[in-house]
Structure 1
Amino acid sequence: MRKSLLVIAVAVLAASLSTQAQNTGNVRYKWHDGQGLMHFSDSLTAEAMKYGYELVNDRGLVVQRVPRQLTAAERAAAAKLAAEQAAQQRAAQERANADAQMLLAYPDEDSYRISLQQVLDTIDQQIHTSQINLRGQEKALTDLLGRAADLENAKSPVPKPLADSIAQQRNVVATLRDTLRRQQTLRSNTEQQQAAQLAHYREVRTAAQQQSAE
């Protein structure tokens, strides 16, 4: 019974305040607190800003809703999300600009394929140079090893300068082999990347053609 009377009293009070807002225009802010209870005020309070409020006109109609204040954690999360979205937008714009420049530089697929092949040709030239150098250094190492073998077969000790030269030449050969392997790996990876780049070029060019036709 008491609970019912309390509900009725609250309803009467709300109706009274609403009527007052319509008649006098004194009540301008309305909000619900943490327990869900409605409040009215003719000035903006800290509690209203905390929970969010509604701006009521002189006829008691809501003309604006203002959300509650965010907590420090929520503000940080919102700022992080905004930064991520801004970064995504920048990245999308940069991709769009790059695609536009690509179409300007290569208006057809043949011209784009030529540019890709030029990259491979440069790598192939580097590989060819490394192979020539490697063969020459391997021959030099073979000659040094042959001299050492001849001395050993003659039961003569291998001089230290010759042994040092063999060790040094082995390092040179090993370095060139590593360089050649890296260049060959680079070419393989470049071919894979170019396949993806060519597919992307076709997609961008098709989209541009469709847009021009519309």
Structure 2
Amino acid sequence: MHRTLWWTAAALVALAGPAAAQRNGDGAAKKLYCWNENGSKVCGDALPATAVDSARTEISARSGLATGRVDRALSADERAAAAARAEAERQAALAAEAQKRRELAMVESYASEAELRRAYEHRLSLSQGTLQSSRMAVTGLRQSLLSLLRRAGEAELMGKPVAKPLGDNIRTQHAELQRQQRLLTDHQREAAEVQGEFADTLARYRALKISAADAAAGGNGG
């Protein structure tokens, strides 16, 4: 059939006549269904098995007006994707709720910013101490390597070959210096992360304290 949805539905209502306005045996109002089949709009008072999974519009046989729409059935891949989205949303909601509980506990646990700062002092001090130790290790290795290279250079200037133990030591020190430099980079990042976390926590703590104070003031005023 190649009629438009409206004209097809109207024709069915007209053909059905008074009978279409009657209710069926179980008391429900009779419906017409319109769906797409091979590129054409098809309407009928019964839904064939081939159209059960298709998107369709439900129309009142009495008024000829659309009363609802049913989307097509999802494929297995679409159902899996929808389930994955739903699970991701559920996990996000759980994470948000857990974060809210942690923030409320933080406000209740620390009476002042000073107490919150003291709670972070150990982590801040530990990260700074690790960073300082890493810097000292890099400085010491660099100085040691320079000394070894100076000895090798002096030997070459005197026309002597660089002794194998000295060359091996230079390579070993250089590899260790590179390793310590990578560690230093990691420790710098970790220290910055702790500092950033503390700054974010402190800002959030202040905001929550203000909100709590405003809520208390509003409650007292009421």
**Which category of TM-score, normalised to the shorter sequence, fits these structures?**
0.5 to 0.7
For 2:147, which of 124, 143, 148 is the aligned residue? 143
Q: Counterparts of 1:45-84 in structure 2 under 5 Å?
A: 68=70, 70-72=72-74, 76=79, 79=83, 82-84=86-88
Q: Give unpaired runs (5+ residues) of structure 2.
A: 1-9, 35-40
Greater Rg by CA: 1
- Check whether the contact 2:33–2:58 (CA below 8 A) recurs between aligned residues: no
User: Is 1:196 aligned to 2:193, yes or no?
Assistant: no
For 1:160, which of 150, 159, 164 is the aligned residue? 164
Counterpart in the other structure of 2:37: none
TM-score normalised to structure 1 length: 0.65
Counterpart in the other structure of 1:57: none
Counterpart in the other structure of 1:86: 90
Counterpart in the other structure of 1:3: none
Pairs aligned (count): 194
Q: Structure 1 168/80 Cα, relative in aligned 2: closer, same or farther at 3 Å?
A: closer
- Check whether the contact 1:52–1:66 (CA below 8 A) recurs between aligned residues: yes
- Check whether the contact 1:141–1:169 (CA below 8 A) recurs between aligned residues: yes
- Check whether the contact 1:17–1:27 (CA below 8 A) recurs between aligned residues: no
Partner deviation per Cα, 1:125-158 (whole Å, 9 max, x = no partner): 0011122223332332233233323433433222
User: Is 1:30 aligned to 2:30, yes or no?
Assistant: yes
- Check whether the contact 1:130–1:179 (CA below 8 A) recurs between aligned residues: yes
Deviates more, 1:137-146 or 1:80-89: 80-89
Q: Structure 1 111/70 Cα, relative in aligned 2: closer, same or farther at 3 Å?
A: farther
Indicate the RMSD between aligned Cα atoms, in angstroms: 4.0
User: Is 1:183 aligned to 2:180, yes or no?
Assistant: no
- Check whether the contact 2:134–2:180 (CA below 8 A) recurs between aligned residues: yes
The structure carrying a bigger helix percent of its residues is 1
TM-score normalised to structure 2 length: 0.63
Partner deviation per Cα, 1:15-42 (whole Å, 9 max, x = no partner): 4554x54xx9664342221079785x9x
Could you tell me the percent identity over the aligned residues?
22
Q: 2-side partners of 1:38 and 1:121: how far apart?
A: 77
Q: 2-side partners of 1:9 and 1:152: how far apart?
A: 104
Q: Structure 1 10/66 Cα, relative in aligned 2: closer, same or farther at 3 Å?
A: closer
Q: Match of 1:171, as an amino acid?
A: A
Q: Give unpaired runs (5+ residues) of structure 1.
A: 1-6, 55-59
User: Is 1:174 aligned to 2:169, yes or no?
Assistant: no
- Check whether the contact 1:30–1:53 (CA below 8 A) recurs between aligned residues: no
